[in-house]
Structure 1
Amino acid sequence: MVANSANRGFTLVEVLVTMVIFAIIGIASFQVLNQMVSTEEQSQKQRDQLERLQFSQLLMQQDIRQMVAKPTRPSAMEITHQYLSNDPRYFESDGGVLAFVRSGFDNPGYILPRSELQPVVYRLWEGDLQRVTETFVNDRSSEPSIQTLLEDVNELSFRFYRSETGSRSNQDTEEGWSDSWESAGDLPQAVEVTIGSENFGTIRRVFLIAGVGQLAVDDSEGDRGAN
């Protein structure tokens, strides 16, 4: 008696073909899923990098805008009236450096033994854009706070714009942009910051300094408490 073909089971070849088809579908699905996860990770990494870039630009803008003409004692002895420095000989950096004193260092009611002035240094160190701050303007006894703002940075440079309304001692200095700032008793009107990044290319921003032309902060001001 001939068996009913409708009740006949799968042959070995049919089973193998089915297994191959399911294996191909599984591999393809895994590859698609893996690609989606990889794309999401790359997108998240790029978003994080963009957020860090935006934060670093905002922080630099706030710091530079609040730059003040504050006499300092770099050697803890002699007072200098050079309120801003980009001399890499005085600050360790693999590229450009920008050092100054800013206002707005919150201290409500002076409950802390320090002023509202804070020394800030921007530098390039081992591929990182760093912001280095001290608690006191003229006291370097404590360890500085080092904050990494951006990674994979290969260039950091600054330029300075001098207006025609500088101090009396610098009236003969030419107005315009300069790669260095060596003027005593003056602050620039604006600072141009150039950052070379492996992730974003070359970024160039110009930040204005608020209140340029105002009287210098007295050396005794901001020296409350241990400052």
Structure 2
Amino acid sequence: MRTPRAARGITLIEVLVAITIFAILGVMSYRAITQAVDSRERLETEFNDWQRLARAFGRLDNDFQQAATRWTGSAARATPAMQVTRQDDGSMRIVFWRMDTEQGARLSGFEISNGYLDLLRWQNTDRTLAPKREHLIGGVRAARWSYIAQGSKNWTQDKWPPTEERGTELPLAIRLELDLDKFGTISRVFVLH
């Protein structure tokens, strides 16, 4: 007597088909999980990069808000409020007096050189001594500074003070354009008090 087909069990081909389906589902699940983890890591890295950039611009803004003219000597002579210098190697440095609430007038500045935007801090008032340096932004391909002087409607490129007679003045605003490896060109305007 013959047994009905339903009672005979699972054939080898049916088992192989089931294993193949489970293997395909496993590979697809693994790929989905791997892509989700990779996407999360990329997003975290990009978020951290944007945070560093925002902190750097915050430092720039904070220092420029504290920029002031420093008067020295009994004859009430003023030292230059801000000086911009460009070096032969293409680096550019802005040095200015920053009013520190604890230490009074301090020399501060920013320099763009060797692919970095650096914060500069002098321990005393001697500009000829080397400042302490802190990297704020890396991957800087190029930078352009421009300024608006009092009574002017045009931006002055890469030069401050506009004339020697106006050396004790601070600009009304400073614009910085950075060409960055990761972000492309970013422009920011800093309004001085």
TM interval, short-chain normalised: 0.7 to 0.9
| Structure 2 residues not aligned, in runs of 5+ | none
Equivalent in the alignment of 1:169? none
Question: Structure 1 vs Structure 2: percent identity of aligned residues?
Answer: 23
Identify the match of residue 85 of structure 1 among 70, 80, 83. Answer: 83
| TM-score where L is the length of structure 2 | 0.79
- Which residue does the alignment assign to 1:178? 156
Match of 2:133 in 1: 146
1:100 maps to 2:65: no
State the match for 2:107 in structure 1. Answer: 119
Q: Could you list the per-position Cα deviations for residues 182-208 of structure 1 after superposition, in whole angstroms to 9, with x for gaps in the alignment?
A: 433322222111111233322222222
2:70–2:78 CA contact under 8 A, matched in 1: no
> For residues 21 and 175 of structure 1, what CA distance do their matches in structure 2 show?
71
1:67 counterpart residue number: 67
Q: How does 1:35-74 map to 2 (within 5 A)?
A: 35-70=35-70
Residue type at the aligned position of 2:48:
D
Measure the CA separation in 1 of the matches of 2:51 and 2:89.
24
* Pairwise CA distance, 1:101: 1.9
Q: Equivalents in 2 of 1:181, 1:19: separation in Å?
A: 75
**2:150 is the alignment partner of 1:163:** yes
Supply the RMSD in Å over aligned alpha carbons: 2.9
Structure 1 stretches of 4+ moved >6 Å: none
Give the number of equivalent residue pairs.
Answer: 184
Q: Is the 8 A contact 1:71 1:82 kept in 2?
A: no
Relative distance call for 1:139 and 1:151 in structure 2 (3 A) is: closer
List per-residue Cα deviations over 1:26-77 (Å, max 9, x = no partner): 11001111111111112112211221222122211111121111369xxxxx
d(CA) in 2 for partners of 1:209, 1:69? 12
Q: Say which structure is richer in strand.
A: 2
Secondary structure of the residue that 1:117 maps to in structure 2?
strand
Say which SS state the counterpart of residue 104 (structure 2) adopts.
Answer: coil
> Using the alignment, how far apart are the partners of 1:5 and 1:151 within structure 2?
73
What pairs with 1:126-145 in structure 2 (closer than 5 Å)? 126-138=114-126, 144-145=131-132
The structure with higher relative contact order (CA 8 Å, sep 6+) is 1
Against the structure 1 CA distance between its residues 101 and 204, is the aligned structure 2 distance closer, same or farther, given a 3 Å change threshold? same
